[in-house]
């Protein structure tokens, strides 16, 4: 049974420091990135932790990152990578070049050692604005002028790779989420309506893509029950059937949403497209602290382990016919956060990223990761990165975006910050370590520019970490001596 506001406040007062949560979820505070309240408010520095395992005889992480002679990806000793797709270089089965701007990705187990990856392409506006839009494959097109969509990448043990279109004619396909029934939910990070930016249809929806059955993807239909807004990511609670969704928006800051299915609805392949546009209830999160006081913005939390209780407020007009969903609430009705981005379901709940906060938020930071426990209806701060004083220097992490739960413990996080870009790990005991660094310089030697990492996800057998360099659009398969990280309390 969910905890009520009154129960939450009373229990917090008794413990003096919030509710003690139990279960498999450890504190994922980054240290020294896990800043105390004073440090977070004043922009203290941070970097990765490279000490020993304190009595466990194991070194944290995999050692220093070694420069790549090919200038693509720096990795620790013993690790290697393979390029699976490269925009404008590799080809689809139909002969067109791989689309650009790789983003959210999920991996699915195929037959005889095959891995299927559904890859978003974050292309906004019309096709005329992009050199390599998602091809308009017959029967798979939502809006024929829109540039975005998804491709499905098949990779085999012998290294052979194939790619085809999963959905086309969508816009700004950013992140998304996989389902337990083996499909991908791709999210449009836009609010463009028909007639805006040259588009012919309303956008800002979630679509389902089946990596196994091309026929199931024909005649794409948006899941309007999930609402129309700047979608970032989505996860499905396999026990309760609820969907949790993030919104990457500002002016005002975006919201964390929950969709409650209608009575009697059961999830499964193809079921979401049968939903009525107003099926179920779409709600936005409203948080309160241990004293029962309303929390207006998640950036208020400046200490690792902060626990908020969560209520849910119904969305008045989920299709945002005249007013954006996040603007339909007045002050005090919902809790906002800047750059609500990646999500991943694990440990019985949802990990949720707020990538960074600046002037539109009460407190500045360079990244938070929260854990929502649906059983207790609580949101707990697991990762906090203080403002990175010098993003051009290697060693500091900022701007978490796409995330995944690692089979070796903790999280793997794709960095979308300023300056140097990393894939980095956060252990379940509070430390961080580098996994990879983007060395593909899209700028000049005097003024370097490095694209963000996206689409971080492990293969079903846990042996391969897939990740993308968003621009120009490169999908990478990383292998090496993965190991469980040292556990430290």
Residue 29 pLDDT more than 80? no
Residue 190 pLDDT more than 90? yes
Higher pLDDT, 185 or 19: 185
**Among 56-60, 101-105, 234-238, 466-470, where is mean pLDDT lowest?**
56-60
Residue 22 pLDDT more than 60? no
**How sure is the predictor about 147, in pLDDT bands with cuts at 50, 70 and 90?**
very high
Give the position of tokens 């009705």: 333
Are 378 and 370 in contact, with CB atoms under 8 Å apart? Answer: no
Phi-psi region of 339 (alpha: psi -120 to 50; beta: other; left: phi over 0): left
Q: Could you give phi then psi for residue 5, rounded to 5 degrees?
A: -60, -45
Phi-psi region of 227 (alpha: psi -120 to 50; beta: other; left: phi over 0): left
**How sure is the predictor about 486, in pLDDT bands with cuts at 50, 70 and 90?**
confident
**How sure is the predictor about 53, in pLDDT bands with cuts at 50, 70 and 90?**
very low
**Mean pLDDT for the chain?**
89
**How sure is the predictor about 443, in pLDDT bands with cuts at 50, 70 and 90?**
very high
Higher pLDDT, 201 or 487: 201
Q: What is the mean pLDDT of residues 62-78?
A: 97
Higher pLDDT, 27 or 376: 376
**How sure is the predictor about 431, in pLDDT bands with cuts at 50, 70 and 90?**
confident
Strand partners, 400: 415
**Among 58-72, 201-215, 216-230, where is mean pLDDT lowest?**
58-72
Mean pLDDT comparison of 256-270, 388-402, 426-440, highest-scoring range: 256-270
The rounded distance, in Å, linking the Cα atoms of 467 and 478 is 8
Q: What is the mean pLDDT of residues 446-464?
A: 96
Q: Which of 301, 263, 292, 267 is nearest to 279 (CA)?
A: 263
Q: What is the mean pLDDT of residues 98-109?
A: 98
The rounded distance, in Å, linking the Cα atoms of 278 and 254 is 21
Per-residue pLDDT, 393:
86
Q: Tens digit of pLDDT for each residue in 31-50?
A: 333 332 333 333 333 445 54
Q: Which of 261, 175, 255 is nearest to 455 (CA)?
A: 175
Q: What is the mean pLDDT of residues 397-403?
A: 94
Per-residue pLDDT, 449:
94
The rounded distance, in Å, linking the Cα atoms of 265 and 241 is 9
Find out if CATH 2.120.10.30 is the number for domain 5-479: yes
Higher pLDDT, 358 or 11: 358
**How sure is the predictor about 7, in pLDDT bands with cuts at 50, 70 and 90?**
low
What is the DSSP pairing of strand 465-469 with strand 453-458?
antiparallel
**How sure is the predictor about 487, in pLDDT bands with cuts at 50, 70 and 90?**
low
Those residues whose C-beta lies under 8 Å from the C-beta of residue 322, and which sit 6 or more positions away, are none
Those residues whose C-beta lies under 8 Å from the C-beta of residue 257, and which sit 6 or more positions away, are 226, 227, 244, 245, 246, 247, 282, 283, 284, 285, 315
Are 171 and 146 in contact, with CB atoms under 8 Å apart? Answer: yes
């Amino acid at each position: 049974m969910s905890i009520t506001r009154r129960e939450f406040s009373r229990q917090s007062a008794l413990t003096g420091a919030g509710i003690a949560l139990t279960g498999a979820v450890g504190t994922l505070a980054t240290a020294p990135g896990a800043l105390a309240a004073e440090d977070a408010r004043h922009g203290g520095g941070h970097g990765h932790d490279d000490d020993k395992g304190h009595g466990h005889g194991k070194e944290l992480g995999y050692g220093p990152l070694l420069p790549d002679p090919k200038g693509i990806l720096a990795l620790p000793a013993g690790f290697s990578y393979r390029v699976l797709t490269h925009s404008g270089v590799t080809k689809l089965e139909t002969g067109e070049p791989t689309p650009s701007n790789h983003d959210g990705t999920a991996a699915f187990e195929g037959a005889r050692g095959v891995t299927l990856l559904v890859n978003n392409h974050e292309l906004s506006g019309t096709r005329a604005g992009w050199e390599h839009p998602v091809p308009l494959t017959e029967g798979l097109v939502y809006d024929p002028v829109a540039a975005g969509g998804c491709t499905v990448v098949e990779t085999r043990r012998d290294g052979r790779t194939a790619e085809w279109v999963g959905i086309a004619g969508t816009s700004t396909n950013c992140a998304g989420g996989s389902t337990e029934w083996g499909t991908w939910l791709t999210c449009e990070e836009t609010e463009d309506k028909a007639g805006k930016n040259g588009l012919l249809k309303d956008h800002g929806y979630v679509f389902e893509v089946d990596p196994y059955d091309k026929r199931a993807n024909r005649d794409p239909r948006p899941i309007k029950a999930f609402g129309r807004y700047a979608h970032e990511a989505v996860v499905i609670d396999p026990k309760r059937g609820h969907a949790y969704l993030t919104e990457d928006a500002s002016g005002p800051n975006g919201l964390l949403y929950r969709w409650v299915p209608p009575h009697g609805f059961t999830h499964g392949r193809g079921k979401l497209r049968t939903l009525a546009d107003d099926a179920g209830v779409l709600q936005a999160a409203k948080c309160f602290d241990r004293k029962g006081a309303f929390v207006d913005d998640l950036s208020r939390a400046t200490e690792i382990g902060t626990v908020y209780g969560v209520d849910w407020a119904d969305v008045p007009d989920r299709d945002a016919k005249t007013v954006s969903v996040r603007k339909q609430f007045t002050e005090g009705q919902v809790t906002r956060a800047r750059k609500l981005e990646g999500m991943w379901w694990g440990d019985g709940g949802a990990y949720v990223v707020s990538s960074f906060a600046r002037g539109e938020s009460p407190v500045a930071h360079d990244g938070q990761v929260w854990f929502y426990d649906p059983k207790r209806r609580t949101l707990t701060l697991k990762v906090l990165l203080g403002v990175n004083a010098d993003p051009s220097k290697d060693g500091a992490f900022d701007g978490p975006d796409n995330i995944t739960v690692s089979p070796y413990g903790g999280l793997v996080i794709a960095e979308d910050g300023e300056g140097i870009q990393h894939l980095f790990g956060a252990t379940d005991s509070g430390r961080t370590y580098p996994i990879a660094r983007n060395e593909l310089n899209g700028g000049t030697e005097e003024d370097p520019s490095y694209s963000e990492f996206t689409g971080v996800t492990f293969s079903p057998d846990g042996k391969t970490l897939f990740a993308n360099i968003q621009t120009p659009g490169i999908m990478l398969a990383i292998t090496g001596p993965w190991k469980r990280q040292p556990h430290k309390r």
